[in-house]
Structure formats: structure tokens, C-alpha cells
């Protein structure tokens, strides 16, 4: 008897939605029966009249190898002797109407290269892993108080094969070393791959999946992807995959109408289709479908050693009316629009992963204010580890796209995210979605002439790294790619060698990432209010922002000051939390970043001069579009009253900029009552 043969217990668990290793039973598996080598096939097609295995081995003739139903379970099985690794196959599913559908294996581990659609017999059990140290440390590495800076990558367009082989796609194995070297050079901690699960259309970027259990054949075989994950782990790099349980395409060989009727999708189109995406929606009310998805998440985490899953389009799952007009959706039992079945599914999914995969991260791309996305199910949360901060991304980009002269009227877009920064465990994201579909590349979102664009982008990335929350940048953004991203071509790496500004921006992002990893103040209290203290968030007139990031022990804290204007200020004063020495550890004005190299204060002493509603203050020069970071040890000052109404007028130096910027006054006033009202607290520790 073969080890893959399906038992009554397997059927019982599958029908209950709790067979978390069902992928070891359904699908195609090399096996031996009565001493004969072959392949054991099994598939779930509950509405089928008959199911056959067709392939190279029987000239694709239906009923040549007809499968046997297992009682009334809807599962069909068959052992075919002589079938070998590398053979092509599909399931020929005869519907109740007598039509024959040729379907790829829902649980198959390898597919043909598109546009061909057959499944390929393979064996993922013969790869020998060598990432034992990483696996042992995973739980510690993945905790909330560790640094996490994610490099989002589309493998097919990161770097193309220069000779045009294999449609320009490089292999998992070929790209591993170069990718790891770049990630470690830059200082990222994780890679997030988009488009790894098999998909038929390049232009979907992998978000319309047909092979949930198969790494795409564009870059090699399943074991080659294992090699890539293994290699990255040995280089100290975590791996996150995009995962799409929200919808799937209607391609004829895929999951849709698998046996002629709705199997994986909900039968009611008001719940089973996303019309604006042209896709089907999974039926979260059906135990076997939920089992398919939960087991699939575990499959990537356990079989491929992936460290986390970024769950795509969670909002579309949570709301019954998402993307639908009145009359196109069905309210829940209480008349609301929340999808109760999805909520329970996500809680169950995340609970099982927490139990079985310690250290694994579940990350929600959730774009609404749905509560407690990253809180445990026992606290009535959805159980995700992190949530993408889409609100921050939207507001921040709107602010950065605004001409500096008008930014004074948009200060709330810059500061609002701080008011909810700890309501969830957030990841700040500037993802692929922000540099496609005529949204412009990051550098071309910035206002002004080219020099201003680079200055603005430096300031933007500086705030992103200092703001509470983990980080994600899409490839190309870290050297200011000029063109929008396209999956059809390689990134414009030539800019690094031919255009000094792009190399300087790359140096700048690298310095930011290494500063981030090197200063616990920037990550160990990312999800705790004690990790952040305002100095001044209300200086809209001068497009400025000042705050502190705090460590748990109050040692080596960081004070950040940001100038989002093209005006440079000399002898500029900002408030400070305490007395003592402040050592400048970062300046955006460094020569290697494209700056003047003049604005580095070194070590300065806090003065006993109240400012920004604090008892102490610092004086230093601020460059145009400047980012400055000062390291200090916090010592709680004696209680004293800040003298109200204190005014100090800074000397100014106007940098090259727009006419509107030059028309501004260089004087800075602090301590005013109207600004004080906008602060949320008294900033005490």
C-alpha cells in the first residue's frame, strides 16, 4: 500500500476543513505499488460524472486512465505504473452535462511554462535543506522588536537575462547570489517576492493564480525555488511571499467551474465573483475550500521554509460589498457588509499558523480601518502579525507631491499617521502599486526641477525610516528609477553607472537602511507608544517636523529634524527632551548623497533655553530638504515650567529653490498657543 493512499481519516479531516497536510494526499506523487514504480493521482471534483488522468503517457486520451471515486467523498484516485518525474498531465473531468474539461492539478507542484498549461510530475521531497541555523533562530528574528526592512522584488524584471534566453527570465538558482549580495549590501533584512505562485499571464504580476501549490516555472523547478530560499537564509535574509486567497482567474485550465459547477468559488455570483477584476472569489463557507487555502499557506511556510506571507487584498475579502454596487451583493445575517465567514477563516488561518509555525509572519494588505487586524483572535482580532499602513502611504505621498510653497496647508497629511501609529503593528510601504499605471516613479512624483526632486526624495525616505513601523521599498525605488516599473523589462540599473545623482541616492538609501538596523531606537519599540515622542509637529509654516525615537532603556535615543522645503536655515533652534550631549549620526547633506557636505553639527550640547514646549533646545544648521538625526541618552529633567511666549529668531540662509519658496520668511517662531493645541500630549516620559 502506498503512503499517499487516501484513508477514511483523510476524508473526514478534509470534509471538516482541518486536513492541514492534504497536499501530501491530493495531487500527483511518485509512489511504488506492489514493487512497481509510478505516480499516485488524487483530485477533488464533487460534481463530476467521471474523472480521468490524461498526459504524455496515454496520448491525452480521456477514460484511458479513469480514476476511481472514493465512496461519496467527491475525491477520485488512481495509481498509474510507469509514469515518471517530468511527465505532463491534466485531469479530464466529465461534467454532468457530458462536457469534458481539461484541468491542471489544483495541488500540482510544477506547471508548464506559459502559455502551455499542463501540470508536470515532480518531487519536492528530495531537496536537502541547509538553513538549520536560520530555522532555529526564526522565532527570535521575527519578533516585533527586531528590525525589518523589506525589499519587494519581481524576479522576472529585477534583472533580465541579457542574452534573451527563456524569454529573458533568469532562474531561481542563477539569480540567488547576485540578489543576496545586493540585499545585504543595501542593508535590507527581508526579500518579499511577488508573483511566485504559478500564473498564466505575466501582466497580472502573479496576482491571478492558477497553481497555488506550484512555484512558477518561469524561473525553474520547485526545488530551484527551494534553493533560492535556502541560499537567502544562509546569507541572513528572510523571505516573504505574496499570497492571494482573495480571488482566482477564470482561465479554462484553472480552478474555475472545476467540474462544470462552482467548486472553489461561491455559486452565487454576488458572493463568488469580482466583476471589476474579472475573477472568481473563493467560497469561504465550504470546508474543503478553506482547507485548500489553509493547507496552502502552511505548504509554503513548512515545505518551502518561507518566513512569512503577505496576504493580498484582505479588504476585498472582509467586505461583501467591496467593488460592488447596490443590488450586486448579499448582506450578512445582521444586514451588514462584513463577511463573517472570511473573518472566521482568517482567525482560524492565523491561529493555526501561530501554533504550527512559530516565528512565521502573516502580513495583511488591508486598506480600510477594520479594527484589530494585527491583534490576536483571543482579543477578537484577526490574528495577523502586521498590517500594511496604506493610510500613511496615501497621505504621505500626497504631501510629498505638493509644491513646498503649499505644503504649509497640508501639514496634517504629514502628521496624521502618528496619531494611530500604534493602533496596529504596521509596515510602512512604498510598493509596486505606487509606481505603475501612470502613477509615476517615486522620483517623478516629487515636485520641482531635477535637483529639487532628488532633495524631496531624500527627505521622503528619511522620514519613512524614522517613522514608527517596519519598512518596505519596491525594487528600483532605492536608486530613483526614472521610468515607471514594467514587468516586461529589467530595472534601469545603468543609471547607477551613468548618472551620479542615482548612485548618490542609492548611497543615501543604503546609509538609511544601515542606520535603521544599527539603532534599536528605530525598531525595538515600533509597536509601542513609548518608542515615540513629539518635539514639534506643528511647524507647517516652514514645512518642518521634529520628533524622537526612544529605546527601552532610554539610552542612544534619536532626535530627528526634517525640513521639507528648499530653504536652508543657519543657527536653527529646535526643542530637546533633556540636557546633555547630542551627537549627529546622520545628515542628508553628506557629499556621497549629493549634498554640500557643510551641514554636520557633530556633537552639540543642549541649551537651557525653552523651545517647542520643551525645557531645552538645540541650535544647528539645517540644509534644504534636510534630514538630521542626533543620538542622545535621555535623562529625565527636573520639573520646571516652560517659559511661555519665548521667541528666538533664527538667522537664515536661502538655498536654491522655487520663487514661491524664496518668498518665505526665514524666521522661525515656536511656543505659540495655536500650534500647541495640535499636539496630542505633554510629551513627558
| Residues annotated as catalytic (active site), given as ranges | 312, 365
Q: Are 272 and 262 in contact (CB under 8 A)?
A: yes
Q: Are 217 and 198 in contact (CB under 8 A)?
A: yes
Helices 172-186 & 500-518, crossing angle to 10 degrees? 80
**36 contact partners, CB below 8 Å, separation of at least 6:** 81, 82
| Residue (of 615, 612, 627, 616) closest to 669 by Cα position | 612
| Residue (of 428, 431, 459) closest to 527 by Cα position | 428
Using DSSP, state whether 201 is helix, strand or coil. Answer: coil
Tell me how far apart the alpha carbons of residues 304 and 312 are, in angstroms, rounded to a whole number. Answer: 19
| Residue (of 494, 666, 512) closest to 590 by Cα position | 512
Tell me how far apart the alpha carbons of residues 524 and 550 are, in angstroms, rounded to a whole number. Answer: 9
| Residue (of 173, 220, 165) closest to 196 by Cα position | 220
End-to-end CA distance of the chain: 68
> Residue 363 forms beta bridges with which residues?
310, 386
Burial class (CB in 10 A: 0-12, 13-18, 19+), 553: exposed
Tell me how far apart the alpha carbons of residues 241 and 683 are, in angstroms, rounded to a whole number. Answer: 39
Q: Are 536 and 676 in contact (CB under 8 A)?
A: no
Cell of residue 471, nine digits? 519598512
Backbone angles phi, psi at 478, to 5 degrees: -85, 0
E strand or H helix that includes residue 472? strand 470-474
Q: What is the dihedral of CA 196, 198, 200, 203, to 10 degrees?
A: -10
Q: Are 21 and 295 in contact (CB under 8 A)?
A: yes
Backbone angles phi, psi at 363, to 5 degrees: -120, 125
Q: Are 237 and 183 in contact (CB under 8 A)?
A: yes
Provide the sign of the torsion angle of the four alpha carbons 587, 463, 499, 162, taken in this order: positive
**416 contact partners, CB below 8 Å, separation of at least 6:** 391, 395
Q: Are 564 and 434 in contact (CB under 8 A)?
A: no
Cell of residue 200, nine digits? 498564466
Amino acid at each position: 500500500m502506498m503512503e499517499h493512499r487516501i484513508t477514511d481519516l483523510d476524508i473526514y479531516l478534509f470534509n471538516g476543513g482541518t486536513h492541514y497536510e492534504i497536499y501530501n494526499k491530493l495531487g500527483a506523487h511518485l509512489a511504488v505499488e506492489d514493487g512497481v514504480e509510478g505516480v499516485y493521482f488524487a483530485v477533488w471534483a464533487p460534481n463530476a460524472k467521471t474523472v480521468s488522468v490524461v498526459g504524455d503517457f496515454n496520448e491525452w486520451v480521456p477514460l484511458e486512465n479513469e480514476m476511481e471515486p472514493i465512496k461519496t467523498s467527491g475525491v477520485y484516485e488512481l495509481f498509474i505504473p510507469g509514469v515518471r518525474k517530468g511527465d505532463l498531465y491534466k485531469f479530464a473531468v466529465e461534467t454532468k452535462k457530458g462536457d469534458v474539461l481539461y484541468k491542471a492539478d489544483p495541488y500540482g507542484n510544477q506547471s508548464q511554462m506559459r502559455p502551455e498549461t499542463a501540470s508536470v510530475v515532480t518531487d519536492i521531497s528530495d531537496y536537502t535543506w541547509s538553513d538549520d541555523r536560520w530555522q532555529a533562530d526564526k522565532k527570535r528574528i521575527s519578533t516585533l522588536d527586531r528590525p525589518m526592512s523589506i525589499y519587494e522584488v519581481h524576479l522576472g524584471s529585477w534583472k533580465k537575462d541579457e542574452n534573451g534566453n527563456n524569454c529573458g527570465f533568469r532562474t531561481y538558482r542563477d539569480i540567488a547570489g547576485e540578489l543576496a549580495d545586493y540585499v545585504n549590501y543595501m542593508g535590507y533584512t527581508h526579500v518579499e517576492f511577488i508573483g511566485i505562485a504559478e500564473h498564466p499571464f505575466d501582466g497580472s504580476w502573479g496576482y491571478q493564480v492558477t497553481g497555488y501549490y506550484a512555484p512558477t516555472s518561469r524561473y525553474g523547478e520547485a526545488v530551484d525555488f527551494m534553493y533560492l530560499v535556502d541560499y537567502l537564509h544562509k546569507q541572513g535574509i528572510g523571505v516573504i511571499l505574496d499570497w492571494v486567497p482573495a480571488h482566482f482567474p477564470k482561465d479554462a485550465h484553472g480552478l474555475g467551474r472545476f467540474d462544470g459547477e462552482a467548486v472553489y468559488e461561491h455559486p452565487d455570483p454576488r458572493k463568488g465573483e469580482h466583476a471589476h477584476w474579472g475573477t472568481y472569489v473563493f467560497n469561504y463557507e465550504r470546508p474543503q475550500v478553506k482547507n485548500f487555502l489553509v493547507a496552502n499557506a502552511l505548504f509554503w511556510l513548512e515545505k518551502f521554509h518561507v518566513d512569512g506571507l503577505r496576504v493580498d487584498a484582505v479588504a476585498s475579502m472582509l467586505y461583501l460589498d467591496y467593488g460592488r454596487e447596490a443590488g450586486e451583493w448579499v448582506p450578512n445575517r445582521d444586514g451588514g457588509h462584513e463577511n463573517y465567514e472570511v473573518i472566521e477563516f482568517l482567525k482560524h488561518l492565523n491561529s493555526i499558523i501561530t501554533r504550527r509555525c512559530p516565528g512565521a509572519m502573516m502580513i495583511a494588505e488591508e486598506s480600510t480601518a477594520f479594527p484589530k487586524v494585527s491583534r490576536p483572535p483571543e482579543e477578537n482580532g484577526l490574528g495577523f502579525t502586521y498590517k500594511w499602513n496604506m493610510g500613511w502611504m496615501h497621505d504621505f505621498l500626497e504631501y510629498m507631491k505638493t509644491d513646498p510653497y503649499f505644503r504649509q496647508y497640508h501639514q496634517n497629511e504629514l502628521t496624521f499617521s502618528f496619531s494611530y501609529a500604534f493602533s496596529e503593528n504596521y509596515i510602512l510601504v512604498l510598493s509596486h502599486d505606487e509606481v505603475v499605471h501612470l502613477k509615476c516613479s517615486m522620483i517623478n512624483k516629487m515636485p520641482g526641477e531635477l535637483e529639487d526632486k532628488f532633495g524631496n526624495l531624500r527627505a521622503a525616505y528619511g522620514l519613512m525610516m524614522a517613522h514608527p513601523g517596519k519598512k518596505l521599498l519596491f525594487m528600483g525605488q532605492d536608486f530613483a528609477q526614472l521610468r515607471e516599473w514594467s514587468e516586461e523589462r529589467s530595472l534601469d540599473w545603468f543609471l547607477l553607472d551613468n548618472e551620479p545623482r542615482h548612485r548618490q541616492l542609492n548611497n543615501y538609501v543604503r546609509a538609511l537602511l544601515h542606520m535603521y538596523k544599527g539603532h534599536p531606537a528605530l525598531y525595538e519599540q515600533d509597536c509601542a507608544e513609548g518608542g515615540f515622542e513629539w518635539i514639534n509637529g506643528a511647524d507647517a509654516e516652514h514645512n518642518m517636523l521634529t520628533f524622537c525615537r526612544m529605546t527601552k532603556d532610554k539610552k542612544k535615543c534619536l532626535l530627528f529634524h526634517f525640513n521639507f522645503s528648499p530653504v536652508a536655515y543657519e543657527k536653527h533652534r529646535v526643542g530637546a527632551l533633556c540636557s546633555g550631549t547630542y551627537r549627529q549620526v546622520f545628515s542628508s547633506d553628506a557629499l556621497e548623497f549629493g549634498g554640500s557636505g557643510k551641514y554636520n553639527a557633530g556633537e552639540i550640547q543642549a541649551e537651557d533655553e525653552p523651545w517647542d514646549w520643551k525645557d531645552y533646545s538645540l541650535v544647528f544648521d539645517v540644509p534644504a530638504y534636510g534630514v538630521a538625526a542626533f543620538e542622545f541618552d535621555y535623562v529625565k529633567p527636573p520639573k520646571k515650567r516652560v517659559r511661555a511666549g519665548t521667541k528666538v529668531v533664527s538667522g537664515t540662509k536661502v538655498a536654491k529653490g522655487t520663487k514661491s519658496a524664496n518668498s518665505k520668511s526665514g524666521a522661525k517662531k515656536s511656543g505659540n498657543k495655536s500650534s500647541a493645541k495640535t499636539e496630542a500630549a505633554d510629551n513627558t516620559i
